Structures are given as structure tokens and as C-alpha cells.
Structure 1
Amino acid sequence: MNRTFLTAVTTLGLAASVLAQAPARAGESAPPGNGGPELSTTSRLKDRREVDAGTRAYSIGFQDGRFYANGWHITGEMGGVWTPPLKLVDGVWFGLDGQWVPQANRFSSGWGYTRYDFPDTAGLKVQRTDFVPDGRRAAVYGLTVTNPGAARTVTLQVNAHSELMGQYPWGFSGVTPNASDNLPDHGDYDGRRLVFTDDGALPGAPVHHYAAVVGTAQTPTSGAVGSQYWGPQPGHRCTGTEPGAPADPKPSQCDDGPFGRGTGGALNYTLSLPAGGSTTVWLGVAGSDQGATEARKELAGALQDPAAQLAEKVASRQKLAQMTRLSLPGDALVQQAVEWGKQNLADLTQTATDLQIRWTNQGKQFPAPLGTVDKATWIGAGYPDYPWIFGTDAEYTAFAAVSVGQFEAVKDHLRVLRDVSDILNDRSGVVTHEVVSDGSVWFGHDSRTTNADGTTAYDFNTDETVKFPSTVALLWRWTGDDRFRDEMYDFTRRNLRYVVRNLDADHDGWPEGLGNVERSGMGQEKLDNTVYFLRGLYDLADMAKSKHDGATYAWASNLARKLQQRFDGTWWYDQAQQYADSLVDPGNQQSFQKHWIGQTPMEAELRVKGATVPGIAPYAHGNAALAGREDPCYSGEHPLNPGLFHTGCGGGANGQGERVVFGLTTSIQSIGEGNYGRLGPDQQGRYTHALAEPMFSEPATGGTPDEQPGAMPEIFPSPDQGANIDRCWTCRSMFMQAWGNYGTAWAVVHQWLGVRPDLGHHAVEVVPQVPQGQTSVEGKDIRLGGGAADVRATHSGSSYVTTVDVDRSTGARTVLVGHTLPRGSAPAVVVLDGRVVHDYTVRHTNRGTEVTVATGPGAHTLRVTAR
């Protein structure tokens, strides 16, 4: 890994309110400690976005310490400080003795915080540490000023610029109400704080009472309000229509967007600096959609010993890091990607209250709410434009989240999807697609219209409905939580019954409707819907059997078996040695447009009669399809990114392809490769590295991360889309996206380490497969049920060794310890805990030859010698 601009530094020591650091040597990983490791960069900081996030708020700025306009859902307004569903301010800025703190020259991303190192200002050394306390509707900024000389008194200036607005409505043409209806903010200085309010109603919307409060624990010497307070930034408004405006400005050229109606304020303080000493001033930005009184309470809570709250925040993130501790000596890059991916998932986990569920019909209406969800917790899709609740994103993200022990967030997300969907869709079983944190539903309603050409236009995606039962089953198997299974069971039955009853007009078994590829020209029956429907049926059957629901078990398992038998003959597109993207009715005519979903038959894993079946495609077709996608027609190459394109060359409805590498597409290819035992550096390794490189160091950005160090973005530098840092203020992808972690975390924990819990049936399987070119992989404290497991797998010559330690508190009664040998191999000698055994099981799967021995919880060592 290129460490020219990206280094890991040691942990933070928290002493009173002063944050100190001691850098490690470049290229070293920091040892664990109070703060956890950091990743730092010094390159093009004004072009890189960053986020600090807690469960009730987040702050999005830029790595030079400033706050530029960016994002496109509400043009230019997706940054700043938010407490879902409310934006509070565009930004905050600091000055000392009449000089604004200049742009940072070093940015560091830590576990639960970020830090900025600035050039000396007014003869003082300046550092800023930002964090968002969990449970607080507030962000906190700690300015540490170090005085290298004699004792002195300085003036601290603080500017803040408000922008009180909801996460919905958006600014797209035709949306009603519209972001252009944003009401002006009112500012006030109350002698201690800046208080911003926005009271009123958008056209056709209920009255709101928005408020933001900005201040410190100290009393200012003076304060003022006015629209001119933008700190060192000029307050330039980018609209795309102003005279002399650049066609595609960078974010750093834009301080506000066309919908900005905020105001500003200034606070001035006197600081007494000891000789050779440091002082940290903690500034809080807090708010509420319930008025100024509640906002003041939030600020007071955030300013109660901020240093202690920062220490608590860091400790909580360190606790997350202690689950699924990996040692991958042959692939340190992927090990680091999983480690930081845990933090990405935590950064995206949010909570909001009082969601008013409204069907906006893609912005065409804003009716009275159909119902209320009192409290919602979810894993957001991505920052800055997708921080709210999605169906399909969470269903992919769940695989990554369970593998690193973050069970609760996924459970809560599934509950929200169920609750919103039942309110919105009158308990039909359709899973909604996209829900803003105020309850506004953009897409995902159980309604359809017939187009002029006789085709059907859907207001929901079939894939989210057919994936939901599998996500519930995933949580049930990893946790053994029968109560959660029972809580979700009725909804999962309704999911698949709906599909069979309403989305199979030609009664051929293949579901109709929209899938994850949001492109025109596809047939009525989509490949991804089919693959996940088949998987969902098997998973529903498994849960039904455990609940002694014989009717549902028989229905789901029989239909799944019939569809599986017909799958390959219907969907394999022999001419291209790939799977068809869709089927066109009447007659199930194959359509092959080279979309990424062609790899889902290899990516999906089935659970059939208690056995894990990696991949639906038979080996010959799956192997050919995976190898084919490694071609430059389908996958990128360095110096951009070697991941999987959305649509291969010459594909799509327009025949031009879409050579854009997404984290999700690359994850699908990664997991498909793993299911077929293709773990080599030019196979799965190519795609896991394609996912990891943008987090740390990629050729397209000169050996620096895509944007925030340690954050996996949505889209990587691609032939048809350049790096985010080169793109304009409103045309960037997400700089942090959740679902791409599926392709790294699940690959390592589930495929390399072979952890396959079935705790709903009180069993755990551990069947590792060491990637080609590596000799060992290890994971400790892999959370399973109420306990954890340690796994180590090694391979040398014909010897394959698996060492496990499975807690009894996991709930497992049976542990299958095994190893995966290369395809065509067979075991010669099997030794468990020092004794030769003969009652082992051999299964030939798409991964290879799986050799397992049944035992119980505890510590065990299995050695398989292949012949």
C-alpha cells in the first residue's frame, strides 16, 4: 500500500480537555488503545469530504476544516450539521486574534472522531477534533490552541451559518412541496448562544418549529447575527445560472446552493493561554424539530464534559472493533478494509422519532400521513445523499453487519422496513424502497399502472420483497433468536405469498416487476428477482419448519425445488456464456444486456434441507460466467479500479454499456468468486482489493484514498466516471456507502474462515478455505448468538488445518469442524484433536471438497491430509 499521503498513527490519549497524539512510523498500524488507530492524509484536502456521526446527528464537512456546499438531493445542502430529519447549519468557523484559522494541512480519521491540524494562526498552534456524541442531537467541535510562548490573552471568534430545513422535500423539478419553498431562518443572540429558528409551513405541509443553537460552555464577550457570517468563506451561492459561473464548479467554489435561506451569527470569547500550555474550547451545534427549548436542552447535554463524552464515544467504537478481530498475514489490505468497514457501518447507524408515513409518489404529492412510526433505527445507505432508510441496501449490508457482530442495527432496520411497509401498503407484504427519516416515502408503494404499450409500471421493486425473508433468516441463523424470527415470520410469509399471487401473470414461476437495475429496456422478469425469490423460498421454508408450520414449509420448499430444477435451462444464455438479465414475455425470450445482475446466480447461497449450497448455478456455468466477467469488457483496470462495471461494453438498452464500477457490483462479483472457490489474487482477490483500495490508497488518486480515509465510497474511479475528488459540487457519488462492505467482510468471515452458523437449529459449521497464495487466515471473537468463536485455518502442501474455539454461550449444541479442499481433491487422513477419525463427511460443492467432522462446543483442531 502506498503510504506517501496515508499513514496510520497511534491512539489518542485523553487528558482533561486536551487531545494529544504521538505518531507512529509511516507504514505501521497503530496499536490498540484509548482512541484506536487513525488514518491521515495531506493531499487535496479541500476536495475531500468527511463525516462525524452519532446515532442522532452527523456533521459533513471537508478535510481542510471548512464547509462547502455539496450534494444533489437538495442541491448543495446535503452537508453541514444534521439531526435527522433536520438540517441545522451549513458550517462553523474559528478565528484567533482577528485571523481566521487557515485551511488544514493534515486530516486524520479516527474511530468515532476526526481531527484537523492547521498551520499556525496568530503565533499559536491549532488543532480541531470533531465528534458527535451518541444519543445527542448535536455535533461538538473541540478547538485546541497551544501557546508556544509566554502567557497571553487572545480573542476567539466563532461564526456559524444556519440552514434549517428538512431532509424532505427535495429540489427536483415537479416535486411538491419543493426545496425551493424553504422558509427563511431567523437569528438571535441571547447573550450566551446563537439561536436560529424556522417556524411556519411549506405549501401543503404541516406547521413546523425548527431550531438550532450554537455555543460553548463559556460566556462570550459579545455576539451578533446577520447573513454575512461565513467565517473565511465568501458566502458564494452556486446556482448554475449566476453570471460568469463555471459550468461544473468544485465544492470549494460553492458556499451555498439555490435553496439556501439561512442566516448567520458570530460569537467572541477571550481566552487566557498559559505559557507553553494548551486550552481546548468545545463548541456545540444542537437542534430540534420541536422548537428552541428542546434545542437548548440538546446543547446543554452535549456540552456536559465533552472530553468525557468523546472518550465514551471512542470506547464504544473500540468495543465494536473487538468483534471479528482478523489476522490476514497474506492480505493486510483486506484486513484493514474490514476493520474500517465496521466503523463505516456504525457511522451510518442512525435513529429518528415520530416518522409520519406519507406516500409522496416520487414527489408528486404530499398527503396526510397514513400512520406513525414512533421510533426508527436503521443503517443508512450512504453519505451525503442517501443517509436514510432503504430496503435493498440494508438487505445487502446485513451480510457485512452480522459478520462483524452488529446484529442489533440490522434487526432494528428490518423492523422499520416492516412497520413502514405495513402502514404504507396496508399489510400486503410489499417491502418499501426508500423512506426519508421524516417518514416521507419516495418509492415503494403497492401500486401499478398500465402504460400505453400495455406494459406495467410498478411503484415498488420486487427484489426488496423477495430478499426480506432471507435477511430475517440470516439474522436468525447468526443469533439463534427465535423471538425475532417469530416477530418477523408473518411478514415474511406475506412477502412471498404476495409475489406468487400478484407478480406472476404468466404463471411460469418467475417473478415480474422491477429489480435492482434501474434501467430501461429490460424484460418483465428480472434475473436478480428470480435468484433472490428462489433463495427466499428456501429460507422461508427453513423458518416454517422450525415453527412447525407444515403448510408454509410444503408450499415454499416444493416451489423452490421446482424453480431450481428449471432455473439453469431457462436463464443460461449460451451465446455469451453468461446468464440472461431478464426474460421478455410472452415466451420467456432471453434478454442479455450485460448488467451486473448476471452474477447473482453465483453470488446467492441457498440453505437446502440443512445444507449450505454456495451458488445456484452449476459449477461449469458459474465458473465460466465468473471468468468471463474478469474480461475488460466487464471489469475495470488500473490505473482506475479493477472492479465490476454496472453494464459491460456494448450492453444496456442503448448498446453503449455503463463502465462505472460500483461497490455493490464489485461485491456481487467478489462473493460469487468465493462461492465457486475462485479465491486467487486474480479472481476474488481482484475484487476485494478493488473494494479496499479506495478506502486507503488507489492509483487513480495518486496513492491516496477516494475521499475520507477508511471510508468505502459508492462509486470508484471508472472509465465513464472519474474520481469523486475531481467531480463537481453536485455530481459526486457517496463518499461513504454501506453495502460495499458485503464484498469484503462476508468474503473473509463466511468464505475464507468458513463461519456458517445455523443457531436457529443450535448448530455452527466452520469450514474454512484459505485463499490461493496465502497460508493462514484467522478471526477471533466472531460474534455468534450469545457468545463468540475463534477460527484459525492454515494450508501447507497437502495439509489443511482448522482450529476452532466455539463458546457454549453461542447456543450451539453441534459444531461441524471442517476444511475445504481444492475441487477434485479427496481426504486421505482426517485427525480431530489428535485422534484419527473415520466418521467424517465429504461434500462436493461449488467451493470444492468440504470435509467435516461433527463435534460439540469448545476448542478443537482438525487436520486433513489430502491425497
Structure 2
Amino acid sequence: MDAHSELMKSYPWSGTTPNQQTYNLPDTGGYDGQNLVFRETGTPPVPGAEPHDWAAVVGSTLRPVDHQLGPNFRGPQDPAVICPATGPDPGRCDDTVIGKGTGGQLHYVVRVPAGGTTVWFAVAGSDRGLAAARSARDTALTDPAGLLAAKVAYRRQLNDRTDVSLPGDPLLQASVAWSKQNLGDSVQEARDLRVRLTNQGTQYPPPAGTVPQARWIGAGFPDYPWLFATDGEYTAFAAVAAGQFTAIENHLRALRDVSLVANGDTGKVVHEVVPDGSVYFGVNADPGNTDETAKFPSAVALVWRWTGDNAFRDELYPFAVKNLRYIYATLDRDGDGWPEGLGNVERPGMGQEKLDNAVYTIRGLTDLADMAASRGDTATQAWASSRAVNLESRFEAAWWFGPTADQYADSLSDPGDVKVFQRHWIGLTPVEAELVQPGQPARPLAATDHANLAVSKREEPCYTGTFGLYHTGTGATTAPTGNPGPTCDSAVSTVPSERSIFTLGTSIMAVSEATLGRAQVRRYTTDNARVQLDPSVWEVPGDMPEISPSPDFGANIDKLFTERSMGLQAWGTYGILWPVVHFELGVAPDLGRGAVEVVPQIPDGQSSVAGRDIRLGTGSVDVAATRTPTRLTTRVTRHLSAALTIGAVLPAGRTCTGVILNGAPVPCTVVPTARGQEVRVAAGDAWTVQLVVSMA
């Protein structure tokens, strides 16, 4: 068996100051009679670097009969192709000049009895020295079958939660199952994080402080499985829909803990944190970070509504208050209420005030007001609510670009709040972002007419390709590269299109379609499901990728390994799990107030949807909905104590002619919502409730 080491810290990187070529020390190889032993010890020749003692051991339950040590031993990759640290790469790279590992080989004689035998191998390491690495190896090999069985049992538990049946869309049903596992795959943990403010990789100062332990949902594999705020705040919707509450609660705690060390009490949320604690971007001195700071209160409120965990709400609430206070103390210099700073689109030519920041700030204020009310914090409730109401009342006039585009402006340029239209994907955020207020159906921020115009336009070929939504649509532009695609409007942009399809953008489109009850949602859930599950498209079978095959990006699997995007990107699961659980099954909890709504919407052309063990708090609900030409039936079984509102969304153009609840007629109460006309009924106390809606 060959093994080749590379004991290397997760930061610095090849392009930072200092870089990894300077920081990385040579590994040494050895043999202890049972295992290959690799060490890296010493202090890198970099100001601010600490001494370290890193170790890894490779071995088996068998004792080797022989061994070899040497600089190679990469298995079939010998002889290795060593690539330069910078510049173009050849078609194959087995290592770079940054790598300073070494290798070894273990020889075994294996006697195989009748019926076979199992030989276990282990690779174990530690940043605390050789004894800790050996201890980890012993733990792994003491009962490896038991550890594997425990992991399989846990993954089966993840599979059993949010167990959906979508007979009219088996691809989407399979994607739900795999997306739950993608989230499970993505959970990471680090200890003794040394929070170092790297100023976007230009410095390596002493740590500002430490965080003893952090767990989070890693953003992307293989390159950046670390802690991101933006990613996690989108992934939160997928996590609660999957019932993976602990993972997202820990993620939000980790963001708070690192932010408090990096930024003190300002309330600013860090953007990007490497597992060793290095903060690449998102400290007080960095511009913006408006998006993740505005979204943090909404992520806390989301988790609170799905779990009913008041202790979690109370733990994160003070930081959530500081988030929005920070925005208005620091990021609204002209005092117009629209925050300045960076948002999700990291592209040139945008105005100071970004659409997504404005949208998520309004939602954040609304959610903060809701949590404040639940805690009796009337001062914060009044402050947040009044700001949210004021901004919402001015939103359409300030941001709707008009009939030349049938879209929202991507940004506003100061002075004068001049509308800037560039066709970026964030134009959908006013539709994607729901405002949740007690006693009212959730609704998108966007006005209904503008919402439908915006989403309809995005379905056209200037915005949508084979596998989903383009990052930046095509059309008339003054950019030197011109317009490479169709034109769907009469507006003129100043930036080039970008026909790269991110699974997040397609998720935003799927959720936007779902908030409006539009049948085209299936087009976009299918797009994400295909790049995850279609053998003719996937890169990693079953994994939701970062970027789908698209005109300006190509296919990930055809690129050099060093040029690929992520094979697994957690936030793409948002566009699968949330449309199914929240919109098709219609599950909308408010467990902080002891209530839950279940109002399914069965897609056109389908006759049934169902979900078992939809986790809510410490319990769950089972939902089954069926549709015939004249009848809608919703059946809900509660496995928790919560006031239930049960209902169904009427198909477009249909009217309610009668309602029966558990065999007894009840009034036909119809509530207009963004999804359409919803029949809603208080379900009473029965644990299992069936609602039958007759329609004409």
C-alpha cells in the first residue's frame, strides 16, 4: 500500500501574503513497526507564525511484513507530474512545487480463509502531535465496523426525515433524498480556531482571539469546505426543510462567535472563515458585508419558527439586534434607508446600494421585529417595524426599473439613487424573499404585478439556459464584448452578460416561481436535479454542484482540476428542499408561537404529493395531498402539540364549492395569497385531520 503525505495548514494559500510555498515546511517520513508515520514540525519562516507539531499515521489491523520510505509512493500517479505554483497548468497535475510531502509503502501478506475476511486500513492525523494522531488511529481501528454502522445509522436517520413521495416527479423525489445527504456530508468541525484578520490575504497578524470550537455546514467541496455567512444563510432554508436543525444552529453560532472575536460588538458578520480561524474577508475594516449581516436575523428567525427553540432565539437575539443596528450606523451614509456595500454579486459597475442588500434588510427588519415582539422588547420591535414599513412603502418606486426591462434595478447609484440595470440574478430577490408576520400569510416583498412580470421575463432565453438561470442575462449593452445572445428587452446595460449557471441562481428562480404558485417551478427544480443526478450531466454522482454546464463556463468535468468549480455546493439544495417542503407540501411553522400551517399546492399535471416525518421542533407532521378534477384533499397527522391550520391552494380559475373537515362541513374560507386562492381552516384538536375541498 502506497501513502504520500502533505501536512499543510488550511491557510495561507498559494496566492496570499505570505503564501503557502513559504509557509509550508517539509514533511518527514518514518515507520514505527506497524504504521507509516509522517511529521511536520517547526515554525514557518513567516512573521506571526507559531510553532507546530503535526502528525499523521497510516496503517492497518494487520502487521506489515516490510516497508519502504521515499519521496514518491503516490500509487498510480508515480512518476508524478509536478506543476508550477503559478501560471498555466498542463493537462495533468499530481502535485505542485508548493507540496513538500513525502511517501512510504507498506507490504502485507493477507491470508484469505473460506468465506473471506475484512482488512481495515486507517489514516489518522492531528495538529497536536504524534501521540494524538496515534490515539485517533487506535480509535478508528478498535471497532471500525461499529463506527461504520453508527455512521450508516445516522445517515439513514437523515434519509428518514422529510421522506417525500412525489409520484408525478420521481427525479425531484430522488433529488430531495440526495440533497439531505449532501447537507449531511457538508458538516465540519474545528477546535481552537485562532481568529486572524488577513485583510483579504495580504497580511498575517497575530490572532485577535480564539474560538474554542465551531461546527458549520461547509460551503463547497473540495476547495472551500469552510465557514461562509452568505452560503449558510441560504442553506438554512434547506437545512430546516430537511430537519437538520442542529447543523444550522451550530453554523449560526459559529458565525456569531467568530464575528464577535473579529469585529467586537459592532454587529458585523464575517464573510469567509477558514477552519483554522483565518478570516479572509468580512472584518470591520473591509467594505460592505451588508448581505450576510442583513440576512443573519432572518436565519435566526427561520430556525426559531421551525424549532420553537426560544433558548436558541434568546442566545442569538442580541447579536441579531446588533446586525441591523450596525447597518444603519455604518452602511447608510446618505440616510435614505437603502444600505450601501457589497452584496452577492461581486462584479464591477454597480451602484453603491445593491438590490439584494435592500431586500434582505427589509426582511431582516421584519424578522427582527417579530422576534422582538415575542420577547417583549417593544423598543426594538418599534424601531425595526417602523423602518421595515417605511422601506417597503418606498420599495417599488425606488427599485422597479420600468417597462423597458420588466425587472428591478440591480443597484442604485449615488447621488440621486439613479437606477442601474445589469440583468444580474439578484433581480429575483424581491420575489424570492418572503416576509413573515404573525397572523398573515407569508408573501414576497415584490408587488404581485411586478413579481409576475419579473419572473416571466426570467423564463425567456436571454436569462435561462438548458440547466437553469444565467448569472447575468443577455441583451443590449455598451460593453466592448457586445451581446452574445438573444435580446428580451429594450434596456441597455453597461456590463457584459455572464451565461454561467450557478445552482444558487437556479434555486432563487425555483423559489421565486414557487412563491407565486407558478407551474414553471418544475423547470428549475428539474435543472438542479439533473446536474445532481443525471449520468449524462453530473460530475460527482448525487452531489449538487456549484456551477452547471453553461455557455460561458462549459462543463466542470471537462476542465483542468485546478480550474474547476465545486463538485458539491450546499446552497444549491435550497432550490430542491424548500420548494418541495414549504410550497408543494405547504409546511409553514411558527412554533415560537405554537402554531403551524399546512397548505399544500399540488403541481399542475400531478395528482398527489406527500411527506412523512417533516420535522418540527421536537416532533413532526405527516402530510398527504391529492387532487382530482373536482376535489382537493389534505391529510395531516401531527406528532407535536401545535395549533394547526390546514388547507389547500385552489388551481387557477377554480372556485371553492364546499369544505369538509373530518367528515363535517365547515365554511369555505378563501384567502388570497401570492400563490393563489387558498382555502384555510382551523383544524381543531384531532391528531389526524382530513380536509376535503370541492371545487368548480
What range describes the TM-score normalised by the shorter chain of this pair? over 0.9
1:608 deviates by 2.4
1:705 deviates by 4.5
Give the Cα separation in 1 of the matches to 2:336 and 2:451. 24
RMSD of aligned Cα (Å): 1.6
Q: Is the 8 A contact 2:176 2:576 kept in 1?
A: yes
Give me the TM-score of the superposition, normalised by structure 2: 0.95
Give the Cα separation in 2 of the matches to 1:436 and 1:707. 25
User: Is the helix fraction higher in 1 or 2?
Assistant: 2
SS of equivalent to 2:6: strand
**1:273 corresponding residue in structure 2:** 112
Q: Is the 8 A contact 2:40 2:55 kept in 1?
A: yes
Give the Cα separation in 2 of the matches to 1:719 and 1:514. 27
SS of equivalent to 2:644: strand
- 1:783-822 correspondence to structure 2 within 5 Å: 783-808=615-640, 811-812=641-642, 814-822=643-651
Q: Is the 8 A contact 2:17 2:204 kept in 1?
A: no
Aligned counterpart in structure 2 of residue 534 of structure 1, from 341, 346, 362: 362
**1:161 corresponding residue in structure 2:** 4
1:654 deviates by 5.9
Gap change, CA 1:179 and 1:753, over 3 Å in 2: farther
- 1:290-689 correspondence to structure 2 within 5 Å: 290-448=128-286, 458=287, 460-574=288-402, 575-637=404-466, 641=467, 643-650=468-475, 655-678=495-518, 680=519, 683-689=520-526
Gap change, CA 1:826 and 1:561, over 3 Å in 2: farther
SS of equivalent to 1:569: helix
Give the Cα separation in 2 of the matches to 1:419 and 1:235. 45
1:856 deviates by 3.5
Give the Cα separation in 2 of the matches to 1:432 and 1:763. 33
Q: Is the 8 A contact 1:823 1:847 kept in 2?
A: no
- 1:699-714 correspondence to structure 2 within 5 Å: 703-714=535-546
Q: Is the 8 A contact 2:4 2:103 kept in 1?
A: yes
Give the Cα separation in 1 of the matches to 2:494 and 2:145. 56
Give the Cα separation in 2 of the matches to 1:815 and 1:648. 42
- Aligned: 1:194 with 2:36: yes
- Aligned: 1:745 with 2:577: yes
1:620 deviates by 1.3
Give the Cα separation in 2 of the matches to 1:548 and 1:540. 12
Offset from partner CA, 1:254-297 (integer Å, 9 cap, x none): 2112311000001111111235x423221100000001110000
Give the Cα separation in 1 of the matches to 2:391 and 2:230. 23
SS of equivalent to 2:238: helix
- Paired AA for residue 686 in structure 1: R
1:610 deviates by 3.0
Gap change, CA 1:569 and 1:594, over 3 Å in 2: same
- Paired AA for residue 448 in structure 2: Y
Aligned counterpart in structure 2 of residue 176 of structure 1, from 18, 21, 31: 18
Offset from partner CA, 1:227-268 (integer Å, 9 cap, x none): 1212222242342589xx9x5544xx2211231100000111
Give the Cα separation in 2 of the matches to 1:425 and 1:240. 37
- Paired AA for residue 573 in structure 1: F
**2:487 corresponding residue in structure 1:** none
Give me the TM-score of the superposition, normalised by structure 1: 0.77
SS of equivalent to 1:573: strand
1:845 deviates by 1.3
- Paired AA for residue 779 in structure 1: G
Worse overlay, 797-806 or 289-298: 797-806
Gap change, CA 1:237 and 1:654, over 3 Å in 2: farther
Identity between Structure 1 and Structure 2 (%): 54
Give the Cα separation in 2 of the matches to 1:729 and 1:692. 23
Worse overlay, 780-789 or 652-661: 652-661
**1:6 corresponding residue in structure 2:** none
Q: Is the 8 A contact 1:192 1:215 kept in 2?
A: yes
1:786 deviates by 0.9
Give the Cα separation in 2 of the matches to 1:228 and 1:346. 34
User: Is the strand fraction higher in 1 or 2?
Assistant: 1
Q: Is the 8 A contact 1:175 1:362 kept in 2?
A: no
Give the Cα separation in 2 of the matches to 1:410 and 1:535. 19
Gap change, CA 1:311 and 1:704, over 3 Å in 2: farther
Q: Tell me how many residue pairs correspond in the alignment.
A: 677
Give the Cα separation in 1 of the matches to 2:695 and 2:676. 13
- Paired AA for residue 167 in structure 1: S
Q: Is the 8 A contact 1:222 1:267 kept in 2?
A: yes
- Paired AA for residue 672 in structure 1: S
1:316 deviates by 1.0
1:177 deviates by 4.5
Q: Is the 8 A contact 1:755 1:766 kept in 2?
A: yes
1:514 deviates by 0.4
- Aligned: 1:234 with 2:73: no
Give the Cα separation in 1 of the matches to 2:386 and 2:654. 33
Aligned counterpart in structure 2 of residue 863 of structure 1, from 672, 692, 696: 692
1:180 deviates by 4.1
Give the Cα separation in 2 of the matches to 1:381 and 1:273. 43
SS of equivalent to 1:279: coil
Give the Cα separation in 1 of the matches to 2:429 and 2:609. 26
SS of equivalent to 2:471: strand
1:464 deviates by 0.2
Give the Cα separation in 2 of the matches to 1:260 and 1:325. 45
1:502 deviates by 1.4
**1:254 corresponding residue in structure 2:** 93
- Paired AA for residue 254 in structure 1: C
SS of equivalent to 2:609: strand
1:788 deviates by 0.6
SS of equivalent to 1:788: strand
**2:588 corresponding residue in structure 1:** 756
- Paired AA for residue 306 in structure 1: P
